[in-house]
Each structure stands twice: as C-alpha cells, then as structure tokens.
C-alpha cells in the first residue's frame, strides 16, 4: 500500500513538472525513478524510454505504466499511470473555463514564458545527466552525436523514430 | 468555478462510445505523443468527422500546452468536454490513454525476458544513444528559439543552478523559472508602458 502511494506521488510530481510533455519527462523520470527512488537502473530506464519512443502514446504515460508494473505489478501500473495524468486533468477539471478566459491574458503569458525557459534548462540538464550515463565510450559518443547531427541537418524532416531505429540497428552491429 | 456548462456546438449528438473509439484509435496508431498526435487528431475530428471546428481545435491546443502534463491527454480532455461535457472529457482522456497503457503492459508482461538477449540489448543500447542525441537536439531547437535575451539567459541559468548546485527537484526548478519569468517579464512590461506614456 505504501509502495503504491509512493509510486503515485512520484508520478504525480513527474506529471506536474512535465511542462510540454515529451522529452521533458526524461530528466524527471531519471531524477525521480533512477535517482531518488532507485526503482530502475539507468540502463533499464534507457531501454524503457527507447520502447516508449517506439510505441504509440505519450512518453510520460508509457513510462508510468512500465515503471509501475515493474515496481508493483498491475496495480502499480494503474496507479502510476493515473498519477501521471491526474495533475493536468484536475487542473483542467477545476480551472478549465478559467484557463480559456485567461489564456491570452498578459500575466499568464509572462508566467508561461518563464516556464518554457525552465523547461529549456531541464533539457540542458537532461542532455548532460542522461548523456553522461548513456555514453560510455567513443563509439557511444559518435552514435549519439550522429543522431544529433542527423536531426539538426534534416531540420525535422527525419522522424525521430526513424533515427532511433537506425541507431538501434547500428547498435546491433556495434555492440553485440 | 466548477459550474461550466458543456459547450456543445454541434447539433448532432455524439455518443460516448463514438468519442471513446475515436480517441482510442488515435492513441493506438500515433507514434509519439503531443504534437504528432495533434496532427492526427485534427484530421480525425475536424476534417473527417467534423465534430469540432478548426478554430476550436487550435484554441484547445493552446490551452492544452498551457498547463503541464501530456499534451495529447490534455487535448483529449478539453475536446471531450466540448463535445459531451464532463463525461465526454473523461471518456476521451481514457480513450487516448488506454492504448499505450495496454501496449506497454503487454510488453512488460511478455517481452522483458528478451531484454537480456545480447542482440536485443545491443539494439536498445543503440536506441538509447539516439535518444541522447534527440534530447540534445530538443535543447538546441528550444534554445535557439528562446535564448534571445539576457533575461532568458538568466532564467535558464537560474533553473540549471537550482537543479545542479542546489539539488532541487527538477519540477521545482521549472516552477521557479516560471515565477522568475513572470516577475522579469512583468518588470519589462511596466518599463515599456512607462516609456510609451512618456
């Protein structure tokens, strides 16, 4: 019961911090699940994220289901998934009409600008913390840098999932 | 503030199973969340089914990105509410979340033993390195867009210091950056107003 409660709390924090969703959830998951709680090893989390990226649905939801299941079975999966979507749904439920009215208000725009910069620092932090853990050799670095450059040079024309799959296939040749 | 009347704009009544199925399908077939899903949702809801107008769709998308959490789920909630009130909101959110929940559950149940297979391990390692590149790419694109003033540099640095030096929870750092941005942008705005007034 306590474990389930902790799972719920952790994923609620992830749900609150994941402003904009997607990749922003990665540093939060790493901090909360690998760092603070120690529920997964970094490598397990990295595999999970790879799968989360390749399967349909938001990363945050996929990660919550997976971690929840690993920690405490079916109940854990349900609790964690609920935890990650509950913060935003409760905000929308309670303040939805308000949000609609105030979303073009300049004070809201100021706050939003700050949040976006906060997300940017989170992405920089993630590049560093995730990169340090994932990259262990020169070949690793070259592969990651190659993915980075491919994405930049193609300016979004290459779907990230294609880049991930190509790197995976290269990985089979390089690492096994 | 909870007494929001469902804003049904459509004359034809959309049933809950219809809503559930539409979102379930989108959730099942869209790789990647958020903005990838937005394009498909627009196709399904605005163009194909004509359940909501393009303007409403865009307006709801901006509200969905205004608050934290998975953009796809937020969007489903808002659109569901527009179509069928509160029950529609929860039906749509459940519909869009359920496919990824079930798929990951299946993977967790049946595929985990294979993760230790050397080839699979090597494949996943390659993938996880690509994700490192993808995160760096997101930082690059986002940074190019937002780091255009000393103020924003300062907010970004403050966020990084909170996480790296003060070891604050990353979620707290994002919120702090939000408040900092609010104060600084507000000051800028005040100055501009003063200038205009002479």
Looking at the structure, tell me whether residues A122 and A142 fall in a common domain.
no
Check CB contact under 8 Å for A57 and B185: no
Looking at the structure, tell me whether residues A34 and A117 fall in a common domain.
yes
Quote the pLDDT of residue A116.
Answer: 86
Query: What is the average per-residue pLDDT within A158-172?
Result: 87
pLDDT tens string B119-152: 988 999 999 999 999 899 989 988 888 888 888 8
Looking at the structure, tell me whether residues A130 and A153 fall in a common domain.
no
Quote the pLDDT of residue B5.
Answer: 44
Question: For residues A58 and A45, what is the distance between their CA atoms, to the nearest angstrom?
Answer: 16
Q: Which of A85, A114, A140 sits opposite B69 (nearest CB)?
A: A85
Looking at the structure, tell me whether residues A129 and A142 fall in a common domain.
no
- State the residue range of the domain holding A153: 135-176
Looking at the structure, tell me whether residues A107 and A161 fall in a common domain.
no
Q: What is the pTM of this model?
A: 0.84
Q: Which of B32, B69, B163 sits opposite A15 (nearest CB)?
A: B69
Question: For residues B44 and B26, what is the distance between their CA atoms, to the nearest angstrom?
Answer: 8
Chain A residues inside the 8 Å CB shell of B107: 51, 55, 66
Check CB contact under 8 Å for B70 and A65: no
- Number of domain units in chain A: 2
Mutate to test the interface with B, among A122, A137, A149, A174 (most CBs of B within 10 A): A122
Looking at the structure, tell me whether residues A117 and A51 fall in a common domain.
yes
Chain A residues inside the 8 Å CB shell of B29: 56
Mutate to test the interface with B, among A13, A14, A21 (most CBs of B within 10 A): A21
Looking at the structure, tell me whether residues A53 and A130 fall in a common domain.
yes
Q: Phi, psi (5° rounding) for residue B12?
A: -75, 140
Which of A92-106, A140-154, B83-97, B110-124 is predicted with the least confidence, judged by mean pLDDT?
A92-106
pLDDT tens string B70-83: 888 888 998 998 88
Looking at the structure, tell me whether residues A87 and A158 fall in a common domain.
no
Q: Which of B126, B133, B189 sits opposite A175 (nearest CB)?
A: B126
Query: What is the average per-residue pLDDT within B188-192?
Result: 83
CA distances from B47 to A116, B17, B178 (A): 31, 20, 36
Q: Are B173 and B162 in contact (CB under 8 A)?
A: yes
Looking at the structure, tell me whether residues A43 and A130 fall in a common domain.
yes
Looking at the structure, tell me whether residues A61 and A142 fall in a common domain.
no
Check CB contact under 8 Å for B127 and A53: yes
Check CB contact under 8 Å for A65 and B108: yes
Query: Could you state, in order of their start, the residue ranges of all structural domains in chain B?
Result: 16-112, 133-197
Q: Are A145 and A151 in contact (CB under 8 A)?
A: no
Q: Are B71 and A20 in contact (CB under 8 A)?
A: yes
Q: Are A4 and A73 in contact (CB under 8 A)?
A: no
Check CB contact under 8 Å for B129 and A143: yes
Looking at the structure, tell me whether residues A127 and A173 fall in a common domain.
no
Quote the pLDDT of residue A112.
Answer: 83
* Reported ipTM: 0.88
The DSSP-derived string for chain A is -HHHHHHHHHHHHHHHH-TT-GGGHHHHHIIIIIIIS--S-HHHHHHHHHHHHHSBS-HHHHHHHHHHHHHHHHHHHHHHHHHHHHHHHHHHHHHHHHHHHHTT-HHHHHHHHHHHHHHHHHHHHHHHHHHHHH--SHHHHHHHHHHHHHHHHHTT-S-HHHHHHHHHHHHHHHH-
Check CB contact under 8 Å for A26 and B131: yes
pLDDT tens string B12-39: 678 888 999 999 998 888 876 666 778 7
Chain B residues inside the 8 Å CB shell of A55: 31, 100, 103-104, 107
Which letter does DSSP use for residue B55 in this model? H
Looking at the structure, tell me whether residues A62 and A143 fall in a common domain.
no
């Amino acid at each position: 019961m306590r474990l389930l409660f902790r799972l719920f709390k952790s994923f609620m924090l992830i749900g609150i911090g994941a402003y904009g969703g997607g990749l922003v959830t990665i540093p939060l998951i790493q901090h909360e699940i690998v760092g603070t709680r120690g529920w997964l090893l970094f490598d397990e989390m990295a595999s999970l994220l790879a799968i989360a990226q390749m399967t349909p649905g938001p990363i945050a939801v996929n990660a919550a289901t997976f971690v929840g299941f690993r920690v405490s079975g079916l109940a854990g999966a349900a609790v964690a998934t609920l935890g990650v979507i509950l913060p935003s749904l409760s905000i929308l439920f309670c303040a939805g009409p308000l949000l609609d009215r105030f979303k073009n208000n300049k004070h809201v725009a100021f706050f939003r600008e700050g949040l976006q910069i906060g997300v940017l620092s989170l992405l920089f932090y993630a590049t560093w913390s995730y990169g340090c853990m994932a990259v262990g050799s020169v070949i690793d670095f070259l592969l990651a840098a190659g993915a980075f450059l491919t994405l930049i040079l193609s300016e979004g024309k290459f779907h990230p999932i294609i880049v991930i799959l190509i790197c995976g296939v290269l990985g089979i040749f390089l690492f096994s | 503030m909870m007494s929001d009347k469902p804003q049904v704009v459509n004359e034809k009544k959309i049933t809950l199973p219809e809503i559930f199925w539409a979102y379930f399908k989108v959730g099942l077939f869209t790789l990647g969340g958020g903005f990838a899903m937005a394009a498909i949702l627009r196709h399904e809801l605005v163009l194909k089914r004509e359940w909501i107008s393009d303007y409403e769709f865009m307006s709801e998308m901006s509200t969905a990105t205004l608050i934290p959490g998975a953009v796809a789920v937020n969007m489903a909630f808002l659109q569901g509410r527009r179509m069928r009130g509160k029950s529609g909101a929860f039906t749509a959110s459940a519909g869009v979340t359920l496919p990824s929940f079930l798929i990951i559950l299946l993977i967790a149940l049946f595929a985990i033993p294979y993760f230790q297979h050397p080839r699979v391990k090597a494949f996943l390692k390659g993938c996880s390195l690509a994700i490192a590149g993808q995160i760096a790419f997101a930082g690059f694109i986002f940074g190019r867009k937002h780091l255009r003033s000393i103020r924003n540099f300062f907010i970004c640095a403050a966020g990084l210091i909170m996480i790296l030096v003060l070891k604050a929870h990353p979620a707290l750092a994002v919120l702090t950056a939000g408040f900092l941005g609010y104060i600084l942008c507000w000051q800028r705005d005040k100055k501009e107003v003063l200038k205009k007034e002479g």
